[in-house]
Structure 1
Amino acid sequence: MADMHVDCFDMINPFVIASSPATRGADNVIKSSSCKPGAITMRNFGHGMGGGGFFYPSFDAVVKGQPAFHSHAVGKQCPDNIASLDEYCEEVKRARRDMYPDTKLWASVGHYHDIEKYTDWKKRWVTEAKEVVNAGADAIELHFNTPGVATASDRQFNYYQLVESCTKMIKEAVPGTPVMVKLAVEDIDCLTSIRRAVAAGADAVGPTARWKAFYFDLDWQTTQPRPGSGYGGTQACPIVCFEVADARSRGITIPMYAGGGVFSYDQALRYIMAGSEMVQLGALACSGGIKQCARLMKQCSDWMDQNGYSSVKELQGAALKLFNMEDSFAKERQNKLGEAYRLRRVDQEKCIGCGRCEDVCWYKGIALDGKKAQKTDNCIGCGYCFQVCPTKALEVDAAGILKSAFEEK
């Protein structure tokens, strides 16, 4: 069985239940810990309750590992019933006492709205950090990924300066306690944010995709999500993977806990393979449930066993060989597939004469001869026609060809 241990923070596995309704207060932290994640981030003090969530096209799509997005819906919201910092710290103590003992407890400190509401917000954040550490939190998270933080807050201050100054401030307030910095990818340069957090002494960074968005149905009055609310989904995976891989390729060595749109095991594995030590589960936990998190975690472990990965450490960064291909090799690999496209003839028995291949050919490389498609000498091997053929009359083993280039190299 694969070793899921994360050495940098002595975590039993790389999964972090992110700050969300699933981690609001001790009861929810304890409930969430039943899936035995590596860490749980307790939600910020004063964040509120309710609001609901919305999966599109459906939660069934999430369960089946299909493309989906998640947004805040229009369910009732109300003030948090944890009315004071003292009460919040009692919740931290109870959570630490009664949650799964091998799971780390991180506490999310501050909220960017504090900067707009309070002149003494820095003092408040420092006090919160000190008190939650005294109450038993294993680490502090600075949550700079709240939807719209880069847009709304840049109207008042510089995002990168905020990241660096606040990270330094909290590190000085709680020396010896890990400070995790959750970062936006919205409307900012993520690499710059990571570099500023590193410069300030952050112990880990969490590039996380969560955007402001305006989704609506054509019958717009029936639309569930709130306009401008937090938006994320499976489409975030390639974006966050790029930010992680780009940072790793530019010399960033700090531990990462990437997140955003992780609804199925393959997305979680991609984040790790791109170079992140840990993976956040936020929307899946609060809107899908803890059983779905447990299912995803088991599927990741099973996949690693089936594919010969003995540990998370071995898997971490495995795809960077793809990201960092030399240009000459990338061109060689691309041309190898292109030549296979060029040489492959149309399977006349499978061809139904639909004309899709001819419609997407821009080089007169294929034509309909009667009711069947035929390659011509003009074919350059671009591959457009292979993508649209409904019967696989045009087909090559693209995966095998691309993999063989690495094996030959």
Structure 2
Amino acid sequence: MANLYVKKFDMINPFVIASSPATQGARNVLRIAKCRPGAIVLRNFGHGAGGGSFIGPDANSMYTGKQAFHSHGIGTRISDPVDTLEKYCEEVRKIKASMDSDIKLWVSVGHYSDIVKGGNWEKDWINQAKELKNAGADAIELHFNTPGVATAKNRSFNYYQLIYNCTKMMKKAVPGMPIMVKLAVEGCDPFTSIRVATEAGADSVGPTARWKAFYFDLDWRGTQARPGGGYGGTQATPIVCHSIVETRNAGIDTPMYAGGGVFSFEQAARIIMSGSECVQIGTLACAGGVSACSKMIKDLEKWMDANGYADMDSLCGDALKLFNMSSDIANERTELLGKAYKEAQVIEDKCIGCERCEEVCWHEGIEMVDGKARKTDLCIGCGYCFQVCPTQALNVDASGILASVFKKHGI
């Protein structure tokens, strides 16, 4: 079986259960720990609980790895019974005493609302970090990802300066304690955030794609998503992957635990293959529970076995070869697929005469004859019609053609 051990984090696998309702208090942490992740982030104390989630188009889409999105829902919210640092530290001790010792426990320090409210929050954060280190936490997480945090900061002061100063502050307060900095993608330049956190000495960075959004039904009175709540989903994964690639291509090798829209092993694999050693699970942990997270871990292991990835080192960053391919290879792939598009003819028996292909052809390269699509000599091989054909009457092995170029060049 593939070895999921992550050397840079000294973790049994690359999955980090993110700070969330699933990690609120010792009871929930010990419950989600049954899925055996590499690390769990204990949620900030005094955060409040409840509220629920809204999954679109439905929860089954999330469970089965299809395209899906998540927003904060409308449900009962209650106060956090763990409302003091003393109680929070006691929760840490309970977890460390009962949880499998090979699962890391990270703890969140502070919250962006502390800064917005003002007061001596720096002193409070330093005190929290020191007490949590003494309680047995394995790492401290600075949580600068709450939806709206970057925008709120830039309206008050410089978000990047906040990241830098707080990271330096934590490194000085608890020397030897790993400082993980969870960063926003919304309302800022993710690369700059990562660079600034790295310069400040962060032991790891976690760019995470969540936004404040306004999702609503057209019959808006019955909308279940919370207006202005946190929003994310599978559509966010490519955005996070680009931030990862940009960082790695700039030569920044700070260990990373990125996240955003990770509802199946496929999204997890994409984030890791972009260059992030670890991956966060948030929504799936809250709305899928132990079984969904366990399945993701097992599915990644099976997929790695089936596709020749022996360990995490061989998987991490592997897709950078695609992003960074030479212009010669990129042109060769384009020319080869374009030629295949141009030469392929309509399979008449499969054509249902829907006219979608003709609708999207902007070069008069296809026409309808007796209710069937037919190529013309004006086809340039752009591929629009192949993408919209519902019956594969227009079909080429696009993936095989594109992959053949890499194989030809030994990549």
**Shorter-chain TM-score: which interval?**
over 0.9
The 3 A distance-change label for structure 1 pair 80 and 195 is: same
Matched with 2:169 is 169
Question: Distance between the aligned counterparts of 2:229 and 2:349, measured in 1?
Answer: 52
1:305 aligns with 2:305: yes
Please state how far the C-alpha of 1:26 moved relative to its aligned partner: 0.9
Matched with 2:323 is 323
Please state how far the C-alpha of 1:325 moved relative to its aligned partner: 1.4
Question: Distance between the aligned counterparts of 2:345 and 2:196, measured in 1?
Answer: 54
Please state how far the C-alpha of 1:348 moved relative to its aligned partner: 2.1
Letter in 1 for 2:44: N
Please state how far the C-alpha of 1:153 moved relative to its aligned partner: 2.2
Q: What's the secondary structure of 1:227's corresponding residue? A: coil
Question: Distance between the aligned counterparts of 1:186 and 1:238, measured in 2?
Answer: 14
Cα shift readout 1:116-161 (whole Å, capped 9, x = no counterpart)? 1231011111111111111000000000000100112221111100
Matched with 1:67 is 67
1:360 aligns with 2:360: yes
Letter in 1 for 2:130: K
Matched with 1:202 is 202
Question: Distance between the aligned counterparts of 1:391 and 1:192, measured in 2?
Answer: 45
Cα shift readout 1:332-351 (whole Å, capped 9, x = no counterpart)? 21111001101111122222
Question: Distance between the aligned counterparts of 2:49 and 2:222, measured in 1?
Answer: 23
Question: Distance between the aligned counterparts of 2:119 and 2:23, measured in 1?
Answer: 28
Matched with 2:129 is 129
Cα shift readout 1:226-267 (whole Å, capped 9, x = no counterpart)? 111111111111110111111111111011001111111100
1:370 aligns with 2:358: no
Letter in 2 for 1:48: G
Matched with 1:118 is 118
What is the 5 A alignment of 1:50-89? 50-89=50-89
Letter in 2 for 1:260: G
1:399 aligns with 2:399: yes
Q: What's the secondary structure of 1:54's corresponding residue? A: strand
Letter in 1 for 2:269: L
Using structure 2 for the length normalisation, give the TM-score.
0.98
Divergent runs of 4+, >6 A: none
Question: Distance between the aligned counterparts of 1:82 and 1:374, measured in 2?
Answer: 69
Cα shift readout 1:252-294 (whole Å, capped 9, x = no counterpart)? 1011001111111100111000100001011111122121101
Matched with 2:4 is 4
Letter in 1 for 2:9: F
1:139 aligns with 2:165: no
Cα shift readout 1:211-232 (whole Å, capped 9, x = no counterpart)? 0000111111111121111111
Matched with 2:261 is 261
Cα shift readout 1:175-207 (whole Å, capped 9, x = no counterpart)? 111100000000100000000000000000001
Q: What's the secondary structure of 1:197's corresponding residue? A: helix
Which is further off, 158-167 or 382-391?
Answer: 382-391
Asked whether the equivalents of residues 34 and 100 of structure 1 are also in contact (C-alpha less than 8 Å), the reply is no
Cα shift readout 1:17-68 (whole Å, capped 9, x = no counterpart)? 0000111111111111111110000001211111111111111111111111
Question: Distance between the aligned counterparts of 1:124 and 1:23, measured in 2?
Answer: 22
Matched with 2:341 is 341
Letter in 2 for 1:320: L
The 3 A distance-change label for structure 1 pair 373 and 225 is: closer
* Unaligned ranges ≥5, structure 1: none
Asked whether the equivalents of residues 30 and 100 of structure 1 are also in contact (C-alpha less than 8 Å), the reply is no
Question: Distance between the aligned counterparts of 1:116 and 1:99, measured in 2?
Answer: 35
Question: Distance between the aligned counterparts of 1:67 and 1:227, measured in 2?
Answer: 22
Q: What's the secondary structure of 2:350's corresponding residue? A: coil
Q: What's the secondary structure of 1:45's corresponding residue? A: coil
Which is further off, 281-290 or 161-170?
Answer: 281-290
Letter in 2 for 1:393: A
Matched with 1:102 is 102
Question: Distance between the aligned counterparts of 1:230 and 1:372, measured in 2?
Answer: 47
Matched with 1:249 is 249
Question: Distance between the aligned counterparts of 1:195 and 1:179, measured in 2?
Answer: 15
Question: Distance between the aligned counterparts of 1:322 and 1:247, measured in 2?
Answer: 16
1:149 aligns with 2:156: no
Letter in 1 for 2:142: L
Question: Distance between the aligned counterparts of 1:321 and 1:310, measured in 2?
Answer: 18
Aligned residues: 409
Which is further off, 150-159 or 107-116?
Answer: 150-159
Asked whether the equivalents of residues 240 and 259 of structure 1 are also in contact (C-alpha less than 8 Å), the reply is yes
Q: What's the secondary structure of 2:348's corresponding residue? A: coil
RMSD across aligned positions (CA): 1.0
Question: Distance between the aligned counterparts of 1:347 and 1:334, measured in 2?
Answer: 23
Matched with 2:191 is 191
Please state how far the C-alpha of 1:352 moved relative to its aligned partner: 2.6
Q: What's the secondary structure of 1:268's corresponding residue? A: helix
Matched with 1:47 is 47
1:388 aligns with 2:393: no
Question: Distance between the aligned counterparts of 1:234 and 1:369, measured in 2?
Answer: 40
Matched with 2:379 is 379
Question: Distance between the aligned counterparts of 2:72 and 2:6, measured in 1?
Answer: 31
Using structure 1 for the length normalisation, give the TM-score.
0.98
Q: What's the secondary structure of 1:206's corresponding residue? A: strand
Please state how far the C-alpha of 1:83 moved relative to its aligned partner: 2.4
Please state how far the C-alpha of 1:370 moved relative to its aligned partner: 2.3
Question: Distance between the aligned counterparts of 1:42 and 1:60, measured in 2?
Answer: 27
Question: Distance between the aligned counterparts of 2:337 and 2:2, measured in 1?
Answer: 34
Matched with 1:271 is 271
Letter in 2 for 1:173: A
Q: What's the secondary structure of 1:261's corresponding residue? A: coil
